[in-house]
Amino acid sequence: MALLVPLGWIAAVLAGGAALGWLFRRLAMTAAHGTRAARAVRSMPLTAAFGLAVILIYALVGLFAPLIAPFSEREVVGAQYLPWSSEHWLGTDHLGRDMFSRMVYGARNTVGIALATTALAFGIGTVLGLIAAAVGGWVDQVLSRIVDAFMAIPALIFAMLLLTLLGPSIPNMILVIAVIDATRVFRLARAVAMDIVVMDYVEAARLRGEGLARIIAREILPNAMAPLVAEFGLRFCFVFLSISALSFLGLGIQPPTADWGSMVRDTATLITFGDITPLLPAGAIALLTVAVNFVVDWQLHRASGLKD
């Protein structure tokens, strides 16, 4: 009997996820009817539809956080660790702040900062990787050896060391994580571009006298977009988890700013009393990571040209 309750919950979650994916796909098919995207929407698997639905929900919650949250993320509204009630849907934290409001604002802060960090890392890594492949020679060797040196150090430990030296602020965290993760993007961009620069159309562009920037922008980058777009989704997941881990350790987003990683740390003691409140921000982190991976898998399958 003890296993029936967890299995029942798992079955309910899977059924709810499938229903959400099916509903989103139906709505997307209606919206895309008669457009070029209609075929892609029709072939979308339920997992990808579920992932897109979750990402859309997170984006809406983050954008409209002040309208959704009943209280401010920093406002003390009651006593410590109040239970769930009609006034405080998820209770209060160790300082008496409304947990539901902080969960809502955490969507804006954690996801928004992760997206900005990923964009910066992706920009740095892609540009340097394409330049290394297009120029070659000593430029490629120097950049590759610097990247190898950075990648030899475990990413989380390296980030903790740099943030301890620089100070745990949001700009420092964005810069540190972006530089560290740019090395991974560099490796992929360089590997993909190395197969493209030997193509005849790239050589023809060089013979026409086109400059390096034009060759990268018009010949190499468009043909490398499919794996790079998929890498952006995967890199977002890693950055998102890194920010949450650093916040849990006290070196990421600093209080009183709401952040899911620090919320897990602040309410962790409730687990010993059978309260599932600490699992909610942890579940929000896991859900978004799974959703992004579902969408990335679908895009990789489409880019590969494989048939179901």
Q: Which of 148-152, 168-172, 268-272, 304-308 has the lowest mean pLDDT?
A: 304-308
pLDDT for the residue numbered 129: 92
pLDDT for the residue numbered 9: 66
Mean confidence (pLDDT) of the chain: 84
Above 90 in pLDDT, residue 120?
A: yes
Q: Are 124 and 178 spatial neighbours (Cβ–Cβ below 8 Å)? A: yes
Q: How far apart are CA 159 and CA 231, in angstroms?
A: 21
User: Facing residues of 76 across strands?
Assistant: 97
The residue type found at 95 is: L
Dihedral through CA 106, CA 110, CA 112, CA 114, nearest 10?
A: -170
Above 50 in pLDDT, residue 270?
A: yes
Q: How far apart are CA 65 and CA 106, in angstroms?
A: 9
The rounded Cα 230 to chain-centroid distance in angstroms is 12
Using 50, 70 and 90 to split pLDDT, how confident is the model at 306?
A: very low
Q: Which two tokens stand for residue 95?
A: 């300082």
Neighbouring C-beta atoms of residue 270, cutoff 10 Å: 17
Using 50, 70 and 90 to split pLDDT, how confident is the model at 3?
A: very low
Distances (CA, A) of 174 to 19, 169, 180, 181: 37, 9, 10, 11
pTM reported for the whole predicted model:
0.84
